[in-house]
Structure 1
Amino acid sequence: MIRGLWAAILAGLVMTGPVFASDGGPGLKYSVLKYSDLDGWAEDDHAAALRVFNETCPDMNDPDWRALCALASAQKGEEADARAFFELFFRPVLIEDGNDGLFTGYFEPELDGALSPGGRYRYPLYRVPPEARGQRFWHSRREIEEGGVLSGRGLEIAWVDDPVELFFLQIQGSGRIRLPDGRHLRVGYGGSNGHEYRSIGIELVRRGVYNAHQVSAQVIKSWVRRNPVDGADLLRHNPSFVFFREVNEVPPEKGPLGAMNRSITAMRSIAVDRRYTPLGAPVWIEKDGKNPLRRLMIAQDTGSAIKGAQRADVFFGTGDEAGLAAGKLRDPGRMLVLMPIQRAYAMVPADAE
């Protein structure tokens, strides 16, 4: 029986002391919990989570993870075995930095475009220019768009038909271009101009156009389209500018590449702050709000706006429907990182009670 096999492997490693909490440095607190403390744990599809875990686990080089990854890849993915794998080899760790938990959503946009300009396809996606590589700061968005520093240099990857969707593609960092002949071109993050992202939603609130609770991606898009001159100026309020690269190695049916350079999976992959959550680690999500979510996710991505120990961005998938769902998500809750047993207990002082 597989549970007995794992128990033998773990001889001397499984610690059965009390659940405890301790300060983990300035402003940080670590708590090791039991699986019975996780709301909805028993009802999740652990086999689905294990399959996604195996997508990136082989790329984790830390010794504490390598042995677990070898065991994970040998599993058949049956529900009972998958749940036993996580429960035997990991402990849920609640990492708190004093900020409330916050979950948002993201997606892979799909835009209409072409490989050459013409007609409605007038807005280019650019590769990173050679002189911008390695520079801390390059031209701002306003300088790039108004000064034409990229025009006529052969840096264009494709042209799309909507500058607003192109702006949000830059925020997402990756997407698919639907070509006139039905093919798809996938693009990924290729670099940036080094400027910090500045929220245009917050700017709309500051200008008195909307109240904070009214702002969403769809609201912003609608306002920019109704106000083309002021809308263009609003988009340039964000000085950050993202360059792209073609991602030809990913089949159309698979998700975009995440921060681990592997495809991510809808509703099982999340973006995290890697200062607190190791990339590739399983993370238990307890999202509250209108549509509560209790699910084992895998930390396979990062994002410039994802900052904090209790902060995660849930990947919803590709296309408009995924975008609508992702744009509505802004809910409280908590997240717990599943850490290898010995590492979980090492996160607190030996004399913790």
Structure 2
Amino acid sequence: MAYFDDMRKRVEVLRHKDEIIILAIETSCDETSAAVVKNGRTVLSNMISSQIELHRRYGGVVPEIASRKHVEMISPIIDEALEEAGMGFEQLDCIAVTFGPGLVGALLVGMSIAKALAYALRLPLVGVDHIEGHISANYIAHPELEPPFLCLVVSGGHTHLVWVKDYGEYSLIGQTRDDAAGEAYDKVARALGLNYPGGPAIDSIAKHGNAEAVQFPRAYMEEDNFDFSFSGLKTAVLNYLNSLKQRNESYNVADIAASFQQAVVDVLVTKTIKAAQKIGVTRIAMAGGVAANSSLRECMKQKAQECGFELYYPSPVLCTDNAAMIACAAYYSLMKGKIHDLSLTVEPSFSNIVSSRTQCG
């Protein structure tokens, strides 16, 4: 309690500083990342250690292996982030960390070291929702961007439409009812014999295929409903491949990849545009790993221009899991006086944003 009382006093001082330096830690899945960010939007360092090659042989992330790798890499990554930024621990003003959602073992690694640093250095601790972090990546990529706007958060674990009303103020407009888009990409890629992660693999080979070769289903569900469902599409692709194999017929991998991807993109773009029109925003943003998909970017850009929306999305490195986006989100929490005490725990299956559901129909 003494620590938290001291930190609340410190935050009141920090909120009047011209420069606030935040060290952020992100270990929600299979990237170990640490970043040093000034005033939420100026990235001084953003170090990322990827585990893709480690998990590729298994066709997906193995939680136990991911956790052990985080333990191995977290201290060196923090040291690299500070060195790249030209900073020492004594120059930091705040420690930020992802509390969830994500893999419980992975999250615990980041949480443990963040708490230790906050306590030892007597610095405020800010826990950040991973989805909020992805949304905040757009603030780094586009310094002119401010709320309100609608954000499509689309990755291996998440597919959400979030109405960003203000910094730290969100309403969930739609979410996946089953598989996230990125999860469907991984499963279809595995069935096609492509490498993990499936998103980049399918995006690459789809450029050489015919997106109209196979008419896979699009799940739009009820009128004015902005939820997503990709399980049926995934099953349709798997059934199609199985039927061809049973008849001993060959198939063009690029055509199937392109047709599957177009089905995903059509749903994501259509629902995003309709939701933006429904709530009356003028700006649309995208975030998350699948937001780096070239077809999604191209189609969303075209449709946004046709409908008069401004479109924003981060650079590919900021679409992946990274600590810079966590620092950005933490900065705006800090500016509102929102900090955490040392009882903060990881929430592998919980998101503050997802819990704030708004009916838009």
TM-score by length of 2: 0.28
- Higher strand residue share: 1
TM-score normalised to structure 1 length = 0.29
